[in-house]
Amino acid sequence: MNNAVPHDAAPDARLASSRVIELDALRAFALLGILCVNIWFFADPYVMTGNSNPDFQSAQDVAVRFAVSVFFEAKFYILFSFLFGYSFVLQWASAASAGQSEVPRTLRRAAGLVIIGLFHGLFLFHGDILLTYGLVGLVLLGTRMISARAAAVTAGVLVGTMGLVILLLGLLTAAMEPTLGESDLQTVPPAFDLAGSPVTVLAHNISLYPMTMIDALFLQGPIALGAFYAGLSCAKNRVIERGLSRRTLMMLVGIALPIGLVAALLQGYLVNYVGGMGLQVVAFGISTLTGPSLTAGYVGLLLLLFRTRPGRALRNALAPAGQLALSNYLGQSVLMLLLFTGFGLTLTNQVPPLGVLGIAALIFLAQLLLSFWWVRKFRYGPMEALLRGATYWRKPTLGSAPKYSSR
């Protein structure tokens, strides 16, 4: 029996055989946002304490962290997850166009993500999301025949339910949590020692990984699954390939962006000007409920921008990094490990927040340039080739430069 995805469940074979440049540009944008969030786990040893860093308390320092909370935190992994869900449908379409079942391919791809995620989480960055993606992808595979409408409803239910649960947990935690004064804040120890020897840093990372893995699976996992379903719904309707009308995008930006921004301002205020683990959880609940709105506004703005001449240039500059998203995601962890920990320059807790964002911008710029050079020679990045080899169960190959679909 042929288990290939039916016509109404995936883009046609022509789209399965070519890349869509807007998707790659959006992936690169998501990578930038993820970098601007993850870098604090290396730069600031207090980031997991629920309290601000006592060594960087100037108005500028707090304002920078506030801006990061408002514009980046809990927004970009939603976009990354959405695009992951979108890509599943394209991969199933590729299997269908080859007359093969999508099930073995997806199972091998999920296994590859789990293995890469375990390595990443244990040895590079305990905040890995790839293992979660591999496991959540199995749920998506098992429900792949769901209609686009049902997938959209499921996405809303999952994200809404998790947001309310997190919000309630945060309120309960905040009610029972003691309040720290300024003198108390000075005595709060850092969560872990990133400035120690490589062995010490590795030991701390391994010790933290089980806790963050549980968080990723049971808190971020359902939210990621909701974003997966949203991506699946849009992919079944071929939203990116067909293109939304300018009026639809303007409505999306005009409605979603203000709602998400107002909620993000409240989230950022709670995290940076109030503090405490309980209110951080409350802020996470708020961002879970409203982050997708701000993310949708970002996407709408970018898709509108991509239709202009300067926007097309930006799209073309971003796309290579998105094409190598897996390699760049892992590469960010390697670079941050070398810059901030005892594995390299030991800059942890040495750089003020504005400088940390500057380093993030330099890392991303370097990845853009390297990716641009790479895709002129090869179709796949090194990690993409490895994962593709596992997916198709054949020897990994870098291939030749791809062709993008354009409208």
Kindly report the number of other CB atoms within 10 A of residue 72's CB atom.
22
Structure-token pair, residue 91: 């991969």
Taking the C-alpha atoms of residue 265 and residue 307, their distance in angstroms, rounded to an integer, is 29
Domain parsing of the chain, residue ranges: 7-179+186-405
SS (H, E, C) 78-109: HHHHHHHHHHHHHHHHHHHHCCCCHHHHHHHH
- With a CB cutoff of 8 Å and minimum separation 6, the contacts of 78 are 223, 227, 291, 292, 295
Give the pLDDT of the chain (407 residues) as one tens digit per residue: 333 333 333 334 444 445 689 999 999 999 999 999 999 999 998 888 767 888 999 999 999 999 999 999 989 999 999 999 999 998 898 888 888 889 999 999 999 999 999 999 999 999 999 999 999 999 999 999 999 999 999 999 999 999 999 999 999 988 887 655 544 444 444 556 788 899 999 998 999 899 889 988 998 899 999 999 999 999 999 998 888 899 999 999 999 999 999 999 999 999 888 877 788 889 999 999 999 999 999 999 999 999 999 999 999 999 999 999 999 999 999 999 999 999 999 999 999 999 999 999 999 999 999 999 999 999 999 999 999 999 999 998 887 776 555 55
Radius of gyration of the chain (CA): 21
Task: Tell me, yes or no, if the pTM score tops 0.85.
Answer: yes
SS (H, E, C) 235-264: HHCCHHHHCCCHHHHHHHHHHHHHHHHHHH
What are the CB-based long-range contacts (under 8 Å, 24+) for 346-350?
346/194, 346/195, 347/43, 348/42, 348/43, 348/44, 348/45, 348/194, 348/195, 349/43, 349/44, 349/45, 349/53, 349/55, 349/190, 349/194, 349/195
